[in-house]
Amino acid sequence: MTVLMFGWEFPPHITGGLGTACFGLTKSLFLRGMDIIFVVPKLFGDENTEVARVVGADNVAVKIDSIKQFSQSINSKYIEINSKLVPYQTDEEYFRLANSSTVSVEGNVDENKYFSFSAGYGKDLYSEVERYAIVASQIARDFEFDIIHCHDWLTYKSGIEAKKISRKPLVVHVHATEIDRSGYNNINSLVFEIEKKGMDEADKIVCVSQYTKDILVKYYHQDASKIAVVHNGIDKEPLATKHAKVKKTAKLVTFLGRITHQKGPEYFVDAAAKILAKDRDVHFVMVGSGDLYNKMVEKVAEQGLADRFHFTGFLNQADVNKILSATDVYVMPSVSEPFGISALEALENDVPIVISKQTGVGEVVNNALKANFWDTDSIADSIYALLNYKTLKNTMVKECRRDLEHLSWEAAASKLENLYNQLLS
């Protein structure tokens, strides 16, 4: 079986859990005998190609005629071929132009066009999503495959186009939603519409938790029978090579993730203030970057916590492992977390975890300490207990690790294989 997968990142170029999940699933599907064609917007040249044929959209020649057909099929009349899209002031302005009444496509039908991609998450993101879909329609013509699998909203348009060309089944994999990222009252309607369109067009929806499935049914009005829950896994290999615990004099509590509304960084800071009111021999570290980074730095300063609080910015996996090796308690106070792979990484390093009740990972880690994200008193009490009661800490880690014994990428891949076979039967 050959699977055409569309993603946005692939090791070693990853920014978070999405890239980790894509690689874990791809590797395990490969080990089950599947041929994976994994498409990313841009190739850097050092991708791990042992488990998949990695294709860069920037290396695919697209016929001018195909571009014209694409623009007509989606009523997108503005596609600029001869230059990069201008840096529109807002997302809304881009979409207004993308659906304007003029066509800007030059060249003979036999000519080719290569699109450029930053493969990032910058201001040109929406136009890259559109260009990615154009390339996907060409890839669907150039490659032989049995099924299409798309990871997150950035690739849903690509999957839809590939399905139109190939008439092969489409699976969309929901790792997070706009409801998670922004909250229902503050959603980006453009992203929400792309997500819903992808789900509507899919033959099957895969999501990473029952928590996410409930969101898809409630807010995206999807049929529950169309949705399969496939929990993320963990890579057991790092157990043999994990860092030894470092010797230190102060206790360390860690937050790891994007510093955005979704991840609840402000609740971490508030809980830290409550801990430090009781015990000044504790240091807090916030690992990651995001739109709330500066606001959190200011919040820490305003509360007089600067001498006990550390901001690292974004760290690669090796440096994350070093931080976890020195951590006494890991905290994930997410407002809405479809899964939360970083919590599993902490447990793999024998670090006890405190997680919000609004997480998918809580479905598989039954013995973790949990609190509502807004309940900073409860979060602080849990952190304090784990820092000061060694027996509780050791018991919790042991029981949580037991919860994870049957959680693996291999198990996730097995569920996906069964799903693929059902769609192809």
Range in 38-47, 222-231, 346-355, 370-379 the model is least confident about: 38-47
Structure confidence at residue 68 (pLDDT):
65
Does 160 share its domain with 267? no
Tell me phi and psi for residue 266, to 5 degrees: -65, -30
Q: How far apart are CA 69 and CA 141, in angstroms?
A: 13
| Residue 63: band (very low, low, confident or very high) from pLDDT cuts 50, 70, 90 | confident
Structure confidence at residue 73 (pLDDT):
55
Q: How far apart are CA 286 and CA 267, in angstroms?
A: 12
Helix (H, G, I), strand (E, B) or coil at 251: strand
Does 134 share its domain with 31? yes
Give which of 376, 383, 375 is closest to 351, Cα–Cα.
383
And the tokens for 107? Answer: 């060249």
Q: Is the pLDDT of residue 17 over 90?
A: no
Element holding 125 (H helix, E strand): helix 125-142
Determine what percent of the chain is predicted with pLDDT higher than 70.
84
Structure confidence at residue 99 (pLDDT):
45
Enumerate the β-bridge partners of residue 77.
none
Structure confidence at residue 130 (pLDDT):
86
| Residue 237: band (very low, low, confident or very high) from pLDDT cuts 50, 70, 90 | low
Q: Is the pLDDT of residue 325 over 80?
A: yes
Number of structural domains in the chain: 2
Return the top range by mean pLDDT from 54-58, 178-182, 205-209, 261-265. Answer: 205-209
Q: How far apart are CA 355 and CA 371, in angstroms?
A: 7
Residue 248 vs residues 55, 198, 287, 320: alpha-carbon distances, Å: 45, 49, 19, 17
- Mean pLDDT for 42-64 is 87
Does 223 share its domain with 305? no
Cβ–Cβ under 8 Å, residues 267 and 333: yes
Q: How far apart are CA 57 and CA 157, in angstroms?
A: 14
Within a 10 A sphere around the Cβ of 76, how many other Cβ atoms? 18
- Mean pLDDT for 214-221 is 97
Q: Is the pLDDT of residue 266 over 80?
A: yes
Q: Is the pLDDT of residue 80 over 60?
A: no
Q: How far apart are CA 77 and CA 96, in angstroms?
A: 10
Domain that holds residue 271: 237-403
Does 94 share its domain with 185? yes
Helix (H, G, I), strand (E, B) or coil at 45: coil
CA atoms within 13 Å, Cβ hemisphere of 45: 0
Q: How far apart are CA 408 and CA 2, in angstroms?
A: 22
- Mean pLDDT for 92-113 is 48
| Residue 209: band (very low, low, confident or very high) from pLDDT cuts 50, 70, 90 | very high
Task: Give the global pTM.
Answer: 0.85
Whole-number mean pLDDT of the chain?
85
Q: What is the DSSP string of 272-320?
A: HHHHHTT-SSEEEEEE---TTHHHHHHHHHHTT-GGGEEEEES--HHHH
Tell me phi and psi for residue 247, to 5 degrees: -80, 130
Q: Is the pLDDT of residue 222 over 90?
A: yes
Does 182 share its domain with 285? no
Does 215 share its domain with 285? no
Does 201 share its domain with 265? no
- Mean pLDDT for 62-88 is 49
Q: Is the pLDDT of residue 107 over 60?
A: no
Q: Is the pLDDT of residue 413 over 70?
A: yes
Does 229 share its domain with 285? no
Does 287 share its domain with 329? yes
Q: How far apart are CA 79 and CA 150, in angstroms?
A: 23
Structure confidence at residue 96 (pLDDT):
44
What is the CATH number for 361?
3.40.50.2000
Q: Which residue has the higher pLDDT, 323 or 73?
A: 323
| Residue 95: band (very low, low, confident or very high) from pLDDT cuts 50, 70, 90 | very low
Q: Three-state SS string across 314-358, please?
A: CCCHHHHHHHHHHCCEEEECCCCECCCHHHHHHHHCCCCEEEECC
Q: ∠ at Cα 247 (246, 251), nearest 5°?
A: 95
Structure confidence at residue 98 (pLDDT):
43
Does 40 share its domain with 157? yes
Residue 350 vs residues 194, 243, 360, 425: alpha-carbon distances, Å: 39, 11, 20, 43
Q: Is the pLDDT of residue 114 over 70?
A: yes
Q: Is the pLDDT of residue 103 over 70?
A: no
Does 124 share its domain with 13? yes
Does 143 share its domain with 31? yes
**Strand pairing report for 309-313 and 353-356:** unpaired
